């Protein structure tokens, strides 16, 4: 128990020393908070239309102004956090487990099975992810659910490659060889030894990808393949307000800023997690800490 407590304390120490990580964590926590409680904080419903209040600039009554239908942009941005985060999480929940399982078995078995899986991955990765997602979303029909499904279908190859490289290295480790020699099945070895020891890079990639996926879904909505009116998804809000950007800049600016911040926050926090979970970086930081304590 004590070693785990010591590891946890050292992780907190590394996190406190990294100002960029703290900034990323603060942004992530902020978006999670408004994603969960945004509907309770919002002063208006995202469906409320008041044509007499359209194109009102930011004020005490409407913090972010109103759009072309008189809807409160601040309320729609708060509601949009829930839809954007939900879509990003659902897309990764579809793609990450599939990719990790395929990558782990491809790397563990190698040979023909690994070659077949990796060649399929190469076919998917030959196309830009956004372009392939657009094609799938167009075939399924424009909606936020279909855009989320499209992202999930094109994002899994990245996790296959990551887990494949980890499995190639881990299958040669002594504890894996010991499990084989004791008669452990391949499935047991993969789930007990290969996948758990690949969690650190997987968690880091999921964290960094969440912001990118949310931005990609916003891009699909902007192009008309994602969320449809009156859903207050940030990309859709930017698409609806781009026509009035010269006369009502606030209609585009605030949802666009939200997309920028959520991508920035998850990228900064994911980058900090990579350093936090990397054994070499941890050893270097621990040595520096002990040197500082001794001096």
Per-residue pLDDT band for 1 (boundaries 50, 70, 90) equals very low
**pLDDT, tens digit, 9 for 90 and up, residues 112-132:** 888 888 889 998 888 888 889
- Tell me what the mean pLDDT of segment 159-168 comes to: 89
Backbone angles phi, psi at 72, to 5 degrees: -75, 115
Confidence at residue 10, expressed as pLDDT on a 0 to 100 scale: 56
- Say if residue 6's pLDDT is above 90: no
- Say if residue 286's pLDDT is above 80: no
Confidence at residue 289, expressed as pLDDT on a 0 to 100 scale: 54
Structure tokens at 35: 């994603």
DSSP state of 73: H
- Say if residue 3's pLDDT is above 60: no
- Tell me what the mean pLDDT of segment 127-146 comes to: 90
Query: What is the residue-averaged pLDDT of the chain?
Result: 85
Residue 230 CA to residue 83 CA, distance in Å, equals 12
* For the chain, the helix, strand and coil percentages under 3-state DSSP, each to the nearest 5: 80, 0, 20
SS (H, E, C) 112-171: HHHHHHHHHHHHHHCCCHHHHHHHHHHHHCCCHHHHHHHHHHHHHHHHHHHHHHHHHHHC
How many helices and strands (H and E) does the chain possess? 12, 0
- Tell me what the mean pLDDT of segment 210-219 comes to: 92
- Say if residue 293's pLDDT is above 90: no
Confidence at residue 81, expressed as pLDDT on a 0 to 100 scale: 93
- Say if residue 295's pLDDT is above 90: no
Range among 20-24, 39-43, 113-117 rated most confident: 39-43
Confidence at residue 278, expressed as pLDDT on a 0 to 100 scale: 63
Confidence at residue 99, expressed as pLDDT on a 0 to 100 scale: 92
Closest by CA position to 200, among listed 175, 155, 163:
163
- Domain ranges within the chain, ordered by starting residue: 2-294
- Say if residue 254's pLDDT is above 90: yes
Tell me the fold of 2-294.
Answer: MetI-like fold (1.10.3720)
Structure tokens at 32: 């999670």
């Amino acid at each position: 128990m004590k070693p785990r407590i010591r590891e946890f304390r050292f992780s907190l120490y590394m996190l406190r020393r990294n100002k960029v990580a703290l900034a990323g964590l603060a942004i992530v926590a902020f978006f999670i908070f408004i994603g969960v409680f945004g509907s309770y904080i919002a002063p208006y419903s995202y469906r409320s239309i008041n044509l007499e209040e359209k194109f009102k600039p930011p004020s005490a009554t409407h913090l972010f102004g109103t759009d072309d239908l008189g809807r409160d942009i601040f309320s729609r941005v708060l509601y949009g956090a829930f839809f954007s985060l939900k879509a990003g999480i659902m897309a990764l929940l579809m793609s990450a487990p599939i990719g990790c399982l395929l990558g782990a078995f491809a790397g563990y078995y190698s040979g023909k099975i690994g070659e077949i899986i990796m060649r399929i991955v190469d076919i998917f990765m030959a196309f830009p992810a956004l372009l392939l997602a657009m094609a799938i979303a167009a075939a399924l029909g424009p909606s936020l659910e279909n855009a989320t499904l499209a992202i999930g279908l094109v994002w899994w190859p990245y996790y296959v490659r990551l887990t494949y490289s980890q499995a190639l290295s881990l299958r040669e480790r002594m504890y894996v060889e010991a499990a084989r020699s004791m008669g452990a099945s391949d499935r047991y070895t993969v789930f007990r030894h290969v996948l758990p020891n690949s969690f650190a890079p997987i968690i880091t990639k999921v964290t960094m990808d969440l912001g990118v996926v949310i931005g990609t879904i916003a891009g699909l909505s902007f192009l008309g393949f994602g969320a449809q009116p009156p859903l207050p998804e940030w990309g859709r809000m930017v698409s609806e307000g781009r026509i009035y950007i010269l006369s009502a800049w606030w209609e585009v600016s605030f949802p666009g800023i939200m997309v920028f911040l959520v991508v920035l926050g998850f990228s900064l926090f994911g980058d900090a997690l990579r350093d936090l979970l990397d054994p070499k970086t941890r050893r270097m930081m621990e040595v520096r800490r002990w040197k500082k304590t001794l001096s």
